Structure 1
Amino acid sequence: MPIRPADQIIHKAAWLYYTHGMRQDEVAKHLDISRASVAMYLRKARDNGIVTISTSSQLFTDDVLARELEDAIGLKAVWIVPENRQAVDPTSEMPVVAAAVFLELVKKGDRVGVAWGRTVYHIADVMPYADLQDVAVVQLCGNLGAPYSYRPDQCITEIARRLNAEGINIHAPLVLSSERLADELRAEPVILEQLASISDCQLALYSVGGIEDDSHLVKCGALTAAEMHALGEAGAAGVIAGQLIDANGHLMDCTYNRRCISADLSSIRAIPKRMMVVQEENKFEPLVAAIKGGLVSHLVVTTSMAQKLLARWATEAKIS
């Protein structure tokens, strides 16, 4: 079994102290905890055998991989869902792990930005109930007209219900028929205030979308398959909060994006904890783009996806 999400900080403290050679005060500063907590975690690491990770490869393989990926890419934290355990379906385990991680990261009084998609809705669907009445769950982008359970307003409403928190929906479409209409709607005081307040969030929860001809944006009618294909040819690499990004994680300069009602990417980057959950193999390149664009700080992925990411960064390091 991998280390439970709640115990990950013990592994991180041990990793920084024993592998990176940090002093206890340096570990405390890096993890934003007290030095006394570091000493306690190191003691627990010794008691639990975590400090013998070099000789316990079978037990801690995925957790060592998570730490290596954090080091290579510069992420704050990585959680890995194994794919090689019998009788465990990573498809069903991924949202359970992600929900547990999310509940660890959200604190009372937080403002939480949430995007949309099947992954996010599955996380909401398995999220345990918690009493976080002073938490606000904020929609990161406008709504979709399609009758999917994973549209933005549904994701926000369900997560807010599970947390006993306030849900704040953006009462606007994701995409308008013209750039002029989008500009005018973004200038409306209520929408303007909602979008401006996104950078005040302490936590964001989202996934990254692909640009296939049958992607969510095509299925919901925001783009046609031909339009999506053309945008891919023009450099689009993925979808963040309903907006198209290029291979470096920058907002695409295109008519579609200018017609979107969604959080500015700089507002999302300003959120301290940007939690992304990705499982599907076809989302590898979109995930790489999101990481390069500074849109990820906390990541939940499968073992194979983590290995591919580590290999990609190793290759690019050699090239550079």
Structure 2
Amino acid sequence: MAIRAADQIIHKAAWLYYTHGLRQDEVAKKLDISRASVATYLRKARETGIVNISTSTQLFTEDALAREVEDAFGLNTVWIVPLDLQALDAGAEVPALAASVFVSLVNRGDRVGVAWGRTVYAVADVMSFADLQDVTVVQLCGNLGAPYTQRPDQCTMEIARRLNAKGLNFYAPLALSSERLARELRDEPVIREQLSLVAGCDLALFSVGTIDTESHIVKCGALTPAEMFALRDQGAAGVIAGQLIDATGNLLDCDYNRRVISADLGSMRAIPKRMMVVQEDSKLEPLQAALAGSLCSHLVLTAAMARRLLDANSSGLSQKQDRPSL
């Protein structure tokens, strides 16, 4: 069916915005119209079904396995990539599902906190373009001085671009050279204000990192492999927003954490929707630590990881029940 002449401008605006990823001002310039007109055309495109910017995630939450994980760990919602879909492309299906879930969780006027790493960047890279109003995307931790493809500022600004939202980058490095310098920098008004924004977020997107040479804080040079292994011996179990947590999900008492500029875990726990995405098989122990510390309320993972998580939890409960009372 031919497109009516009156609708052609709507189709063109929608095509440039959703398919090519242009910002609203760029679409306006391209079509020689006002930005307000672009917003109107994009709204009409959604209302009339010309575009569909969201994919239903109901299929991934109705599985009995998802209910088991929710009940076992007290989570609000769990989305699980089934084995048949994961077999198609294990590295692509989890980020694709997570991106769809994330967009569905963002509401008008929300403040969204974003961490960093390979998983978060993969989610941002496949996220659909959404014309959300009055949304602000906040960086949860300091930046990296060395070149790194999944830097915190890149993750934050890419997600802000996808949501047509305002992005707020962190004006501080992730790890300082001394505790004193980190303490003084946290006291700077601009840094203190940025850190204070975190507790007021409505939604957060992050993953949990491993304690090994593949960890992003090793890859970016914040810690050497030898330092990471030493911290693992001290009880480090995972990485959240650039910070080391122990098996209980609390901040590890170590020099590295005291040199880090990042949102404190209390502020992160205060965020109502804390969406964690886990795709690597190596993240069982870090995920267990994050769940133990109530750092996650919404979870996206694979069916294989869900079963491992439940098996480990059942094993732990059985061991506690088998212990003789004193």
Q: TM-score, length-normalised on structure 2?
A: 0.79
Per-residue displacement from partner, 1:27-66 (whole Å, max 9, x unpaired)? Answer: xxxxxxxxxxxxxxxxxxxxxxxxxxxxxxxxxxxx1100
Count of aligned pairs between the two proteins: 266
For the residues of structure 1 that align with 2:215 and 2:304, how far apart are their CA atoms?
22
For the aligned residue pairs, the C-alpha RMSD in angstroms reads 1.5
Code of the aligned partner of 1:231: L
* TM-fit CA distance, 1:259: 0.3
Per-residue displacement from partner, 1:294-319 (whole Å, max 9, x unpaired)? Answer: 10100000011000111122222333
Per-residue displacement from partner, 1:98-148 (whole Å, max 9, x unpaired)? Answer: 000001111111100000001000100110000113000000000012222
Code of the aligned partner of 1:209: G
Tell me the SS of whatever aligns to 1:84.
helix
Aligned partner of 1:171 in structure 2 is 171
Tell me the SS of whatever aligns to 1:244.
strand
Aligned partner of 1:148 in structure 2 is 148
Tell me the SS of whatever aligns to 1:167.
strand
**Contact 2:60 2:80 survives alignment (8 Å):** no
Structure 2 unaligned segments of length 5 or more: list them: 1-54, 321-326
For the residues of structure 1 that align with 2:209 and 2:246, how far apart are their CA atoms?
12
Code of the aligned partner of 2:310: L
Aligned partner of 1:219 in structure 2 is 219
Aligned partner of 2:58 in structure 1 is 7
For the residues of structure 2 that align with 1:102 and 1:140, how far apart are their CA atoms?
16
Code of the aligned partner of 2:65: L
* TM-fit CA distance, 1:226: 0.7
* TM-fit CA distance, 1:7: 2.6
Aligned partner of 1:101 in structure 2 is 101
For the residues of structure 2 that align with 1:206 and 1:284, how far apart are their CA atoms?
16
Matches within 5 A, 1:1-320: 5-7=56-58, 11=62, 63-85=63-85, 88-320=88-320
For the residues of structure 2 that align with 1:10 and 1:89, how far apart are their CA atoms?
20
Tell me the SS of whatever aligns to 1:200.
coil
Structure 1 unaligned segments of length 5 or more: list them: 12-62
* TM-fit CA distance, 1:10: 8.6
Per-residue displacement from partner, 1:172-229 (whole Å, max 9, x unpaired)? Answer: 0000000111011000001101101100001000000001023211111101111001
Residues 290 and 145 of structure 1, relative CA distance in 2, 3 Å threshold: same
**Contact 1:112 1:135 survives alignment (8 Å):** yes
- Identity of matched residues, %: 65
Residues 146 and 10 of structure 1, relative CA distance in 2, 3 Å threshold: closer
Q: TM-score, length-normalised on structure 1?
A: 0.80
Tell me the SS of whatever aligns to 1:274.
strand
For the residues of structure 1 that align with 2:61 and 2:264, how far apart are their CA atoms?
35
* TM-fit CA distance, 1:6: 3.5
